[in-house]
Amino acid sequence: MVNLETGRRRLRYAGTAGMLSAALLLQGCLSPEKDAKGEDNNINTVADTESAEGNGKGSDAPETALELQDGIVGAVDEASAAVVGVTNLQTAGNYWTGSEETVPAGVGSGVIYKQEEGKAYVVTNNHVVEGASQIEITLEDGTKVPAKLLGADIWTDLAVVEMDDADVQDVIEFGDSDELKRGQTAIAIGNPLGLGFSGSVTVGVISGKERSIPVDLNGDQSIDWNAEVLQTDAAINPGNSGGALVDLNGRLIGINSMKIAEASVEGIGLAIPINSAVPIIEDLEEHGEVRRPQMGVTLFDLIDIPAVYQQEELNLPKEVTEGVVVDQVMQGSPAQKAGLRQYDVIIAMDGEPIANLIDLRKYLYNEVKQGDTVTLEVYRAGESMKTEIKF
């Protein structure tokens, strides 16, 4: 059962971790402050171009491999100036003097996405800036600029910070994460292990789309939210959090956020799709928070219910196999005013099919604003009906 209002996740960010399906360890990619030394712009290219691109050209492989390498280099040149370091500075007491001082608590990454009226705006992860008393941005050339937090959202793990744009050289262009295909080249740019490895580049492919990852937000070992993420095998390490996942055109397709950190698991990095991030970014920039419409229900996926219960308890026709089931309806909520009841099965919103909770959240959070009225298609006791819910 999933509570829509509070969500369910099983991930702890900021260098801590939770369990995925009681077996896989997920880890937020925020690096503790280190003096790591390493090469800038370290590019890992794909050796087997035929398998990576799936073009099947055979004898043309060397030429295609060179084209792919040139494409990667071009994409990095296009995007790297917009990828920055984000240092989380916190106040701590000095044991010897008893005074307080500001010290680095961790380093992550961020992406400059907008420049306007003397200000530049950076998107990063919430867990990168969480608890910060001050935030410092490090540009590609090493210039350090103080920044202030405009807003952060724990549910999507996104944050927006603002800084002076005098030294900013470039902003990134948004891509379209809905159009991504499995096997498409993906390039991660960020600061693994801290600023000593700033601007590091790793290359892989889009391994999967619309992955639903259960995450624990408060460390109580219970699921709070399901994060919708892209899966990539481009290496994402501590310090990459908040950095850019880009395509071969250098366009931003995802915000690197976490990885599965388990000895038996290799090459599973996770990023927030940019199409999901954009409305969150806009709300954080404008309001300092995400203004989400609330239905006032708890829900779970129909697919999780055995077929015998779908037909005998919910009285669903056999052809109805996808949707979300209402469990509890809150008093005075929009759902109650719309007449929703326990065990109603929602299959569409405004004509858009709702197969599961991810579909419902995507439509609700991306398409619906406060004051809107949405038409729900519902099965109740085996009968199809429609009702309107006003937010």
Q: Is 94 exposed, middle or buried (0-12, 13-18, 19+ CB in 10 A)?
A: exposed
Strand runs labelled E in 42-193: 83-93, 100-116, 119-124, 134-138, 144-153, 158-164, 185-190
Please identify which of the residues 157, 165, 216, 283 carries the catalytic annotation: 157
Map tokens 């509570």 to a residue: 3
β-pair partners for 214: 226
Please identify which of the residues 127, 198, 224, 257 carries the catalytic annotation: 127
Give per-residue burial for 254-265: e unless 16+ CB within 10 Å, then b. bbbbbbbbbeee
| Residues 325, 330, 331: CA angle, nearest 5 degrees | 140
Please identify which of the residues 241, 257, 283, 344 carries the catalytic annotation: 241
Amino acid identity for residue 26 in this structure: L
- CA 56 vs. chain centroid, Å, equals 33
**Nearest alpha carbon to residue 157 among 126, 124, 191:** 126
The Cβ of residue 39 has, within 10 Å, a number of other Cβ atoms equal to: 10
Alpha-carbon distance 380 to 344, whole Å? 5
Asked if residue 19 lies in contact with residue 25, where contact means CB atoms within 8 angstroms, the answer is yes
Alpha-carbon distance 203 to 154, whole Å? 28
Alpha-carbon distance 8 to 224, whole Å? 3
**Nearest alpha carbon to residue 18 among 209, 258, 266, 300:** 258
The Cβ of residue 179 has, within 10 Å, a number of other Cβ atoms equal to: 10
Alpha-carbon distance 364 to 245, whole Å? 25
70: enclosing H helix or E strand: helix 61-79
Asked if residue 84 lies in contact with residue 140, where contact means CB atoms within 8 angstroms, the answer is yes
176 as an active site residue: the answer is: no
Instruction: Kindly list the catalytic residues.
Output: 127, 157, 241
